[in-house]
Amino acid sequence: MVVDDFSEESTGASFSIDLSAEDIRDKILESISNTAKPFVHSVHTHKNTHWNEDSLTQVFIAQNTVQLQKLSSSLMVAAQYRDIYHKTKGIPDVFYSMIEEGRDHKPSFVMEAKRLPTPTSTREKEYVVGKTTTGNPNGGIERFKLGKHGAGHSHCGMLAFVEKEEYQYWLKNINSWIAELYPVWSESELLKLQKNYSHYSHFKSKAERDKGEVNLDHFWIKI
């Protein structure tokens, strides 16, 4: 493969991004919060009437791009991240990264998306735990707990499209599913409410790993 010479001087590119990891995460979380209303409006006014997880995530990313660019032109959001740094097999549905000409960055934040309720009753608890067709563990939070998603990250996220019932119903159910997994899972992994609005709710939890833990921000959007 032939690679042309690339220099900062020839392009005028600057490689200095003056944002801390915490600043970046705050902007990402703010953009997600700001996306809830325009996302719901896009779904309700769309010609498509048959939604699945992938199509909902696609519309969310389109609307989130608008909100993210209002906060920082140095950040991008895209679908389905394949980890080329840690070589994990999991593919999170949404990822955020710094963007610079001539340089690739590790993702700053990754999220797994789920529908509430799941499309079939056999996958009822999939937000927390689940199985692939070959029997491998594959639930939403479970992927972060096992390091399938978010390897090398201390903060990640879950995104839920709430199609039936209210937020409190799902909070009660999901926390009960986690409680059923004691003592392998712990009380610290229960979701705790941060903000509650008519169009979205924000929760926080931790997923304990063999080595360390990952902090999870959960954004639930009622559609």
pLDDT tens for each residue of 82-101: 666 555 666 678 999 888 77
- Give the per-residue pLDDT at 5: 53
The string of DSSP letters for 88-103 reads: -S---SEEEEE-BTTB
Delimit the domains of the chain by residue range: 19-222
Tell me: the pLDDT tens digits for 123-166? 899 999 998 888 888 899 999 998 787 667 789 999 999 999 99
Which pLDDT tens digit goes with each residue over 9-64? 544 444 445 678 889 999 999 999 999 999 999 999 998 889 999 999 999 999 99
Average pLDDT for residues 75-81, to the nearest whole number?
85
Tokens linked to 86: 């840690």
* Burial of residue 64 (number of CB atoms within 10 Å: 0-12, 13-18, 19+): buried
Of 56, 35, 218, 221, the C-alpha closest to 140 is: 218
Residue found by looking up tokens 């600043």 in the block? 23
- Residue 180 is given by DSSP the state T
Q: Which residues contact 200 (CB under 8 A, 6 or more apart)?
A: 33, 36, 219, 220, 221, 222
According to DSSP, residue 186 is labeled: -
- Residue of 100, 41, 31, 93 whose CA lies nearest to 66: 31
What pLDDT is recorded for position 114? 96
pLDDT digits (tens, 9 = 90+) for 165-202: 999 999 999 999 999 999 999 999 999 999 999 899 99
The 75-79 sheet, strands edge to edge: 75-79, 94-98, 109-116, 155-162, 213-222, 200-208, 192-196
Contact 63, 35 (CB under 8 A): yes
In 3-state terms the chain splits into helix, strand, coil percentages (rounded to 5) of 30, 25, 45
Helix (H) or strand (E) holding 158: strand 155-162
* Matching residue, tokens 């594959």: 138
Q: What is the pTM of this model?
A: 0.88
217, two tokens: 């921000």
Strand, coil or helix: 203: strand
Higher pLDDT: 182 or 108? It is 182
The pLDDT of residue 93 is 81
Between strands 155-162 and 75-79, the pairing is unpaired
